[in-house]
Amino acid sequence: MKSLLRYMKGYGKQCVLGPLFKLLEASFELMIPLVVAAIVDTGIARGDTGYIIKMCLIMVLLGVVGLVSAITAQYFAAKAAVGFAARLRYAVMEHILGLDYTAIDRLGSSTMITRMTVDINQVQNGVNLTLRLLLRSPFVVFGAMIMAFTIDAKAALTFVALIPVLCLVVFGIMLITMPLYRKVQSRLDGVTSATRQNLAGVRVLRAFCKEEEEVADFEEKTDALKRWQVIAGRISGLMNPLTFVIVNLAIIVLMHTGAMKVQGGVLTQGLVIALYNYMSQILVELVKMANLIISMTKAAACASRVANLLEEKPSIHPGKEANTLRGEVSFENVSMAYAGAAAESLEGISFAAKPGQTVGIIGGTGSGKSTLVNLIPRFYDATSGAVRIDGVDVKEYDMQALREQIAIVPQKAVLFQGSIRDNLRWGKADATDQELWQALELAQAKDVVLSKEGGLDEPVLQGGSNFSGGQRQRLTIARALVSKSPILILDDSASALDYATDAKLRMAIRSMENPPTTFIVSQRAASVRYADMILVLEDGELVGKGTHDELLEKCDVYQEIYYSQFPKEVEGDEK
């Protein structure tokens, strides 16, 4: 929690004024029993209606001033808590976006979502309650006890005996429930993960008729969450009955002692009522304090989880600024293993691509094609060997500067909510409409936009759900081409395109005025057939390198892939 306090900077005034106004409210609240005592002992005892009205007006005034103080305290506390949470949420989001793929893979999306939402909301609630109640409740408890001593020291001994017993019950229950609430929070992570997975893969679940199995698995996770919540809730539920029993027993003792003193003329009836009111205030405030500490415990646990996320350091470290790149890419005996993996995903990869060349990468599923191209923009770093761009190891480049000069179209075509123009300008923020249309034409997506009523201003729903798979792929390719980067990576990004459109796309890229060094990852032999160099991967090893004709002659793996798609009896040239 301490590491997060820097995000409270600038809210010092609110952190001081909030508790101060709350103490002011508590001071007025402690005066109410004395006003009530005066009404009983003076107004009612003498039948003085004017005095009763006067004291009632004073009591109303105290209530109004207390209400204003409470509202003011709430305003300052809420402003500090909400501002703190907003800064923290921004910092967490910024930090997550700066993490490398290795850290993101290790943490998991569901964990990061929980930290960003549930955990930060809990921390915000904890800060709010702390500013309002952390000083107020002890102030009222000890203030009520002191006021009781001013009324009658002997009767106040009941308060002295009561407060330790109540504290023992309240804090004992709190200490038992604290670890239980931590377990509840960890079970909530599991439910969030299952929810996200089911919602993201709902179409796959329905296609394979797995709804019942996933529902059963989800019920198991929610039942585990419910069990811990019920256990924690039952123990917490003991607090109110136990404290009320103890306080009521103390009230019985107080009333008996007070009655004896009233009968002996030591105390008045109004003062006994005041003692009773102070006893009730102590009960209410101790229960509030217990709930506050439970909330603070939850907030501290959540703050610790958020702090752990912020302490997560990327394994990839930034280097120097990258000047305008020419696009020469070379791999020198590169190997790469994912964190926690038993074996390497790539082993001993070496090749060199000249500026403007097209490099095709082909291989079976899991052969390491995507892993290879992910090393170029430093989504991952090689575990051994060197990946060089323009003769410089990519580890020496600043990541952001490097990635600004590498256009990437990932396997999954992702569009963001907004308009087509907004999405395309991710490639170049200040791109003109002419540049956008040029990129759309190269990506064979011009007809997609022209068919939409809004053109470039056509709305894009979340995830691009109002476009087909092929349309999304062409738009994401256009988004990459807008940047006119010296290096272009197409990671199986034409899988939803027909062969004719795929061929037109590749021809359009090759015919650009200054064609980029293009890496085409595909399982289609037709997509890489006319590449200047084709890399054939199998189980993370480079088993073939050369042109289509060279590989067809001497690479068994490439022959197997090619002839599985173009049987010899119908073999023909692709136009």
CATH (domain of 437): 3.40.50.300
Which letter does DSSP use for residue 397 in this model?
Answer: B
How many Å is the Cα radius of gyration of the chain?
Answer: 35
Q: Is 382 helix (H, G, I), strand (E, B) or coil?
A: coil
Q: How much is the average pLDDT of 428-456? A: 88
Task: Give the number of C-alpha atoms closer than 13 A to the C-alpha of residue 153, restricted to the C-beta side.
Answer: 0
Distance in angstroms (rounded) separating the CA atoms of residues 417 and 234? 45
Contact 145, 232 (CB under 8 A): no
| Domain match, 372 and 435 both | no
Contact 539, 529 (CB under 8 A): no
Task: Grade residue 574 by pLDDT with cuts at 50, 70 and 90.
Answer: very low
Domain range for residue 466? Answer: 410-484
Q: What is the pLDDT of residue 150?
A: 81
* Consecutive H or E run containing 534: strand 533-538
- Whether residue 37 lies inside any domain: the answer is yes
Locate the DSSP E strands across 16-142.
Answer: none
What are the φ/ψ torsions at residue 439 (nearest 5 degrees)? Answer: -65, -40
Task: Give the number of C-alpha atoms closer than 13 A to the C-alpha of residue 502, restricted to the C-beta side.
Answer: 22
Q: Is 380 helix (H, G, I), strand (E, B) or coil?
A: coil
Q: What is the pLDDT of residue 86?
A: 92
Contact 280, 36 (CB under 8 A): no
Q: How much is the average pLDDT of 484-492? A: 90
Tell me the sheet residues that pair with 329: 353, 389
Q: Give the total number of structural domains in the chain.
A: 3
Q: Which amino acid is at 87?
A: R
- Whether residue 259 lies inside any domain: the answer is yes
Percent of the chain's residues with pLDDT above 70: 97
Q: How much is the average pLDDT of 24-49? A: 85
Q: What is the pLDDT of residue 575?
A: 38
269-310 and 12-38 helices, crossing angle to 10°: 160
Q: What is the pLDDT of residue 319?
A: 58
Of 45-59, 117-131, 248-262, the range with the lowest mean pLDDT is 248-262
Percent of the chain's residues with pLDDT above 90: 17
Q: What is the pLDDT of residue 494?
A: 77
| Domain match, 259 and 398 both | no
Backbone dihedral region for residue 350 (phi beyond 0: left; psi -120 to 50: alpha; all else: beta): beta
- Whether residue 316 lies inside any domain: the answer is no
Q: Which amino acid is at 57?
A: L
Q: Is 345 helix (H, G, I), strand (E, B) or coil?
A: coil
With b meaning 16 or more CB within 10 Å and e meaning fewer, what string describes 276-291? bbbbebbbbbbbbbbb
Pick from 265, 290, 310: which residue ends a domain?
A: 310
* Consecutive H or E run containing 98: helix 49-98
The burial class, CB within 10 Å (0-12 / 13-18 / 19+), for 400 is exposed
Q: Identify the CA nearest to 554 among candidates 564, 544, 562, 563.
A: 544
Pick from 275, 310, 345: which residue ends a domain?
A: 310
| Domain match, 247 and 351 both | no
Contact 524, 501 (CB under 8 A): no
| Domain match, 195 and 254 both | yes
Contact 387, 331 (CB under 8 A): yes
Task: Grade residue 571 by pLDDT with cuts at 50, 70 and 90.
Answer: very low
**β-strands 384-389, 358-363 pairing:** unpaired
Instruction: Output the six-digit token pair for 139.
Output: 């102030």
- Whether residue 451 lies inside any domain: the answer is yes
| Domain match, 230 and 305 both | yes
| Domain match, 216 and 340 both | no
- For the stretch 506-556, pLDDT in tens is 888 888 888 899 999 988 888 888 899 999 999 889 999 999 999 988 899
Residues 6+ apart with CB under 8 A from 50: none
Contact 302, 122 (CB under 8 A): yes
- Whether residue 369 lies inside any domain: the answer is yes
Question: Using DSSP, how many helices (H) and how many strands (E) does the chain show?
Answer: 22, 12
Q: What is the pLDDT of residue 322?
A: 59
| Domain match, 537 and 567 both | yes
Distance in angstroms (rounded) separating the CA atoms of residues 337 and 346? 7
Pick from 245, 276, 310: which residue ends a domain?
A: 310
- Residue 570 predicted with pLDDT over 50: no
| Domain match, 491 and 480 both | no
Q: Calculate the alpha carbon distances from 442 to 73, 104, 420, 446, 505 in Å.
A: 61, 33, 16, 8, 6
Contact 415, 475 (CB under 8 A): yes
Q: Which residue has the higher pLDDT, 166 or 435?
A: 435
Distance in angstroms (rounded) separating the CA atoms of residues 278 and 276? 5
- For the stretch 187-216, pLDDT in tens is 877 787 788 778 878 888 888 888 888 888
| Domain match, 175 and 265 both | yes
Contact 149, 30 (CB under 8 A): no
Dihedral sign, Cα of residue 286, residue 291, residue 294, residue 300: negative
Q: Calculate the alpha carbon distances from 73 to 79, 128, 281, 369, 480 in Å.
A: 10, 10, 20, 59, 52
Task: Grade residue 1 by pLDDT with cuts at 50, 70 and 90.
Answer: low
Q: Which residue has the higher pLDDT, 532 or 296?
A: 532
- Whether residue 564 lies inside any domain: the answer is yes
- Whether residue 61 lies inside any domain: the answer is yes
Q: Which residue has the higher pLDDT, 132 or 496?
A: 132
- For the stretch 312-357, pLDDT in tens is 876 666 656 656 788 899 999 999 988 777 788 899 999 999 998 9
pTM of the model: 0.69
Q: Identify the CA nearest to 122 among candidates 300, 271, 331, 385.
A: 300
- Residue 101 predicted with pLDDT over 60: yes
| Domain match, 167 and 304 both | yes
| Domain match, 261 and 350 both | no
| Domain match, 357 and 466 both | no
Q: How much is the average pLDDT of 119-127? A: 89
- Residue 168 predicted with pLDDT over 80: yes
Q: What is the pLDDT of residue 61?
A: 92
**β-strands 358-363, 533-538 pairing:** parallel
Q: What is the pLDDT of residue 35?
A: 86
- Residue 42 predicted with pLDDT over 60: yes
The CATH number for 53's domain is: 1.20.1560.10
Backbone dihedral region for residue 393 (phi beyond 0: left; psi -120 to 50: alpha; all else: beta): beta
Task: Grade residue 72 by pLDDT with cuts at 50, 70 and 90.
Answer: very high
Task: Give the number of C-alpha atoms closer than 13 A to the C-alpha of residue 263, restricted to the C-beta side.
Answer: 6
Q: How much is the average pLDDT of 99-127? A: 82
- Whether residue 317 lies inside any domain: the answer is no
Q: Which residue has the higher pLDDT, 422 or 176?
A: 422
Of 121-135, 148-162, 221-235, 555-569, the range with the lowest mean pLDDT is 148-162
Instruction: Output the six-digit token pair for 247.
Output: 């306080």
Q: Which amino acid is at 559?
A: Q
**Average pLDDT along the chain:** 85
